[in-house]
Amino acid sequence: MHSFAARYASFNVETLVDGQTPSIIPRDTVAWPHPQKFGANPETLADAGFYHNPSPYDPDNVCCFMCGKELAEWEEHDDPFKIHAEKCPKCPWVVLNFAVAGSDVVESSPSTKISPTSNILYEARLATYGPGGKRKWWPHDGRKKHGANSKKMTAAGFIFQPEIDSPEDDTATCLYCETTLSGWESTDDPLHEHSRRPAAKTCAFIIALNTPESPASDESSGAENQHKRVTRSMRRTSQQQQPLTPLNTVPENGEPDAKPKTKRKTAGTKKQKEDVAPAAVVEEKTKTAKPATKQARKRGRPSAAALQVQPLKNIDPNTKKLNAARPYAPKEPVKPREPPKLTESKQDTLFPPNLKLVLDNRYKLIDKLGNGAFGQVYRADDTKHSKLVAVKLEPYNAEYASLRYEIDVYRTLRRGMGGKPFPVGIPEMIWGGSHEGIYRALVLPLLGSSLTSLFRAQKHQLSLGTTLMLVQQMIDRLEWIHDQRIIHRDIKPDNFVMGTGKNSRTLYLIDFGLSKVYRNEEWMHIPYRDGRGFVGNMRYASVNVHLGVEPARRDDLEAVFYVLLDFLTGDLPWRRFENPPESNMIYVTKLTSIQALNFSMGAYYEPEFYQCLWYIRSLRFDQRPDYNYLRATLSALAERKGVGLGECFDWER
C-alpha cells in the first residue's frame, strides 16, 4: 500500500483522479460508505497515507501504510492530514508532509523551521523505502553495490513514491521541487541526478545542502555528515564518467540509441518559499539523458495554515527508550495550565436557553442538566426507542476539543471489545458526531447522581462501609479501562455517578475527555517523560503529576485513594491551599501526608490506607498495579472493622 494508486483503489472506487484504474485490489471489497463531499474522501485519505481497511463494526476504518494507525467513524468536516498528525505525530508520512508544507509539527528549534537536511527528515525519508530498516519496498536494495540504494536515495532528498505497488517500480520523488525520477541503474548517483535537474535551482533541499554551514544543533549534524559523505562519493565517481550529451538530445548520427531506456522524468518546480535564502546549487554536469516516458502525477499538499497542530517534541530517538525506573524527579512542581474555558457570554450565545435541536434525526433535546467548562449537558428523548438519554454538547470548533477526544476513547474501547457489550459500570456511547458543523455531540445513557452531589447531601462525610464499597468499585472500573490501554487522568468524585433502576447500586466511571491511550497496538508502553504540563484535578492529582511526570496507571489509583481520604474525613489536609491555588503547598502536603496519615486523618486513620498508598507510590512508571492486592487489603480492613461490603449506602438509609 505504499503507492497512492493502491491506497486509492482500496476504497473500491471506480476510477482514479487521472482516469486510471489499478487492478491490484480486488473489486469485491467493501465500498467507502461516505459521500464525496466529505473532507475525508478517498483522494484526501490516500494522500494522507491511509488505505481502506474496513471491519464489521467500522466500515469506514482506515489504516496508515507507514505507522499502522487505524482511524474510523469519519465525520463530514474532518481533515485527514490534521487528524493523522494529531493522532500519530511521529509517523514519517506526517513528518514529511508537514515539513514540506512549512508547518512546525516537528520542532527543530524554538524559532526556526526544520531544515530539509536534518536528521529527522532523513529518517522519515528513509522509512518510505521500507519498514524496520530492511527496506523491502525498494527494488535496488537487494542488489550488491547498487549506486541508487535506499540510503543514497534518502541522502539525495528522495522519497520512494511508486506509481503502483510493483516490485519493479523504482519511482522516487523530491517533495520540495517535485522532481520525480525512475529507471535507476547501478552506476547512477542519486544526488548528482537530483542536482542536475532544472527544478533543483529552486529546490529547498538542494539549497539547504549547499548553504554554508552555520552553528547547528546536534539533531541536524547527523544528516549533514551523511550528505557530506554522499557528496564526496559523487565527486569521486563523477570524475570517472565519460562526457555525455545534454538532456533530450540525439547522437550526431541522427539516430536514437538502439535500446531506449525508461529514464528520469522531471516534474515542474514548486514555488519557492519567501523565507528560503538563495544559495549556490551544485554545479550541473552534463550527462547522457534518457527520454522520460511517463508524466509525473502532481497532487496538492496541504498549506501550513491548514495544518496547525501542536509541535512534536522530544523526537530524539533516545526518547523512544522506556525509562521506567527513573531514580529521580524534578524538585519543583509544575503549575497547572487549564485549557481556555467558555465565558458566560459565549455560553449564552452558543447554548441559548431555548436551544431545541434534533441530533442525527433521532435525539431531541428536552432540557439542560448542567454546565461544563467546555460545553453543556442535556436530557434528550431518543425518539427511535422512546427512552431518555444524556447529550453532551460543545462547539464544533472549540479550542480544546474535549468531546472529540472522549468520542475517540469510546471508539477505542468499542474496538477493543470487538462488538461485545461493555461491562457494567462503563457507559457505552450510543452516538457521537457533529451537528451541521456547529456542535459536536456525544449521546450516552442517562445515569443517576454523581458522588459529588451525594457527598454533599451527606454533609461532606461518608461512613467507612460506604467509602470502602465505592473504592472497591472504582478499582474495578480502572482495572478494566487500564486493560483496554486507557488511563483516565481525571479521577474525582464528579466523574463517578450511580446507575439507575436495577443498576442503582452500580458505580459508573464517566468523562473520558482527558483520557489517553498509554499503549499502542503492538502493546508498547508510552515512554517516561518529565517536564509535562499539569493535567487533571489539583485536589486529587498524584504527586508525580504535580512534578510534571507523564501520567500512568499508578496515578489513577493514587487519585482514588485521595478520594477515599476525602470521603472519610471531609477535609483533606491540602484543601486550604486550593483557593487561590498554591500548587507548591498542595504538592508538599501530599508528599509528606503519606508519612503523617495518622495525624492528618485523626480517628479515621487505618494502617491499611498507609499500606495501599505506599504500594501505589512504589510502582514503576510502566508497572501493572496489583489490583487484587488493593482490593484484598481493603476487604481485610472491612473484615477487621466488622463492616459488611454488601450493606446499604449511606444515602439509601
pLDDT in tens, 297-312: 333 333 334 333 333 3
Q: Which pTM does this prediction carry?
A: 0.56
Q: Fold identical between 1-88 and 344-445?
A: no
Q: What is the pLDDT of residue 77?
A: 83
Q: Which helix (H) or strand (E) holds 344?
A: helix 344-350
Active site annotation includes 218: no
pLDDT in tens, 405-438: 899 999 989 888 877 889 999 999 999 988 888 8
Q: Which helix (H) or strand (E) holds 453?
A: helix 451-457
In terms of Cα–Cα distance, which of 308, 318, 115 is closest to 217?
Answer: 115
**Is the pLDDT score of 237 beyond 80?**
no
Overall fold of domain 344-445: Phosphorylase Kinase; domain 1 (3.30.200)
Catalytic residue among 60, 170, 490, 511: 490
**Secondary structure class of 200 (helix, strand, coil):** helix
Domain ranges of the chain: 1-88, 95-250, 344-445, 451-652
The CATH number assigned to the domain with range 1-88 reads 1.10.1170.10
**Is the pLDDT score of 25 beyond 60?**
no
Architecture label for domain 95-250: Orthogonal Bundle (1.10)
Longest dimension (CA), the chain: 107
Exposure pattern of 455-492 as b/e (b: 16+ CB <10 Å)? beebeebbbbbbbbbbbbbbbbbbbbbbebbbbbbbbb
pLDDT in tens, 34-67: 888 888 888 899 888 898 888 766 778 898 888 8
DSSP letter string over 609-630? Answer: HHHHHHHHHTS-TTPPP-HHHH
Q: What is the pLDDT of residue 348?
A: 55
DSSP symbol at 450:
B
SS3 letters for 52-84?
ECCCCCCCCCEEECCCCCEECCCCCCCCHHHHH
CB-CB neighbours of 516 under 10 Å: 17
pLDDT in tens, 352-371: 666 788 998 999 999 988 87
Overall fold of domain 451-652: Transferase(Phosphotransferase); domain 1 (1.10.510)
pLDDT confidence of 395, banded at 50, 70, 90? confident
Known binding residue 392? Answer is yes
Cα Rg, the chain, nearest whole Å: 30
Cell triple for residue 63? 489504516
Burial (0-12, 13-18, 19+ Cβ within 10 Å), 606: middle
